[in-house]
């Protein structure tokens, strides 16, 4: 493994941390409806926990309502039950073969709870990025100890890894600020 490999590996892992953060932030509900909030809701499909999007067509009916149309009629009650029992605070209603899921407007208190949740997700992402930095620096020190690189190369590589860390931490801060602004907008 070379110094360049260590830096490239750190860059890729930090980018994955950002992607994970984006996915986690997409699950946090704002005042508007979006189909992504049902992504992590699992429904019992013949004894197997399955995502709703795998057993039904999930669409937006309007700005505050999600429509879920199961591909099998007998899945209606199971999907409705799964949505109701999820921690999202949604109350689905069945109309014929369509489940309407209205998203209630967020109260000020609920918005603040979501902001705390978002900040927690951001802290988790920063910790993951810092752990990647630590692992990279340890790999560089091991290479120096094993005389696979010079002290100058090791120092430059550590500086580069620190710059990567700073860049990705700034990206996390930016994503958190955007989501916080989105949540606090009524």
Give 133's contacts (C-beta < 8 A, 6+ positions apart).
Answer: 10, 161, 162, 164, 165
What pLDDT, on the 0 to 100 scale, is given for residue 77?
A: 87
- What is the count of structural domains for the chain? 2
* Six token digits for residue 92: 């689905």
Residues 39, 23: one domain?
no
Residue 15 and residue 75 in one domain: no
Q: Domain check: are 136 and 169 in the same one?
A: yes
Instruction: State residue 127's pLDDT score.
Output: 94
pTM beyond 0.85, yes or no:
no
CATH number at residue 133: 1.10.132.20
**Beta carbons within 8 Å of 80's beta carbon, 6+ residues apart:** 92, 94, 99
Identify the CA nearest to 38 among candidates 75, 87, 109: 87
* Shared-domain flag, residues 50 and 140: no
84, 116: one domain: no
Phi (first) and psi of residue 94, to 5 degrees = -90, 135
Does residue 112 share a domain with residue 179? yes
Domain boundary among 69, 102, 135: 102
Domain that holds residue 95: 35-102
Domain boundary among 72, 102, 132: 102
Q: The domain that contains 88 carries what CATH number? A: 3.30.1360.40
pLDDT given for residue 33 in this prediction? 72
Q: Are residues 67 and 129 in the same domain?
A: no
Considering the domain architecture, whether residues 54 and 142 belong to the same structural domain is answered as no
Per-residue confidence (pLDDT) for residue 83, from 0 to 100: 87
Q: What is the phi-psi region of residue 83: left when phi exceeds 0, alpha when psi lies from -120 to 50, beta otherwise?
A: alpha
Assess whether 86 and 60 both reside in one domain: yes
CA distances from 13 to 31, 49, 85, 120, 133 (A): 32, 29, 35, 20, 10
Residue 65 CB neighbours (<10 A): 14
Of 102, 120, 138, the residue that ends a domain is 102
First-to-last alpha carbon distance for the chain, in angstroms, is 52
pLDDT of residue 174: 94
Could you list the pLDDT tens digit for every one of the 186 residues in the chain?
788 888 999 999 999 999 998 888 877 766 677 777 787 888 988 888 888 888 889 898 887 888 999 998 888 888 988 888 887 778 888 888 899 988 877 778 878 888 888 898 899 999 999 999 999 999 999 998 988 888 888 899 999 999 999 999 999 999 999 988 888 876
């Amino acid at each position: 493994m070379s110094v360049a490999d260590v830096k490239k590996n750190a860059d890729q892992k930090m980018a994955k941390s950002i992607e994970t953060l984006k996915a986690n932030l997409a699950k946090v509900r704002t005042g508007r409806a979006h189909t992504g909030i049902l992504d992590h809701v699992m429904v019992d499909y013949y004894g197997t926990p399955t995502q709703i999007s795998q057993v039904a067509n999930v669409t937006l009916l309007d700005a505050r309502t999600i429509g879920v149309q199961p591909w099998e009629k007998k899945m209606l009650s199971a999907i409705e039950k799964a949505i109701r029992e999820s921690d999202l605070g949604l109350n689905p209603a069945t109309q014929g073969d369509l489940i309407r899921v209205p998203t209630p407007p967020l109260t000020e208190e609920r918005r603040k709870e979501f902001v705390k949740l978002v900040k927690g997700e951001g802290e988790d992402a920063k910790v993951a990025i810092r752990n990647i930095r630590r692992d990279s620096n340890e790999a560089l020190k091991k290479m120096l100890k094993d005389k696979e690189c010079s002290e100058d190369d090791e120092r430059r590589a550590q500086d580069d890894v620190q710059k990567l860390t700073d860049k990705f931490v700034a990206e996390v801060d930016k994503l958190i600020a955007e989501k916080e602004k989105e949540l606090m907008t009524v």
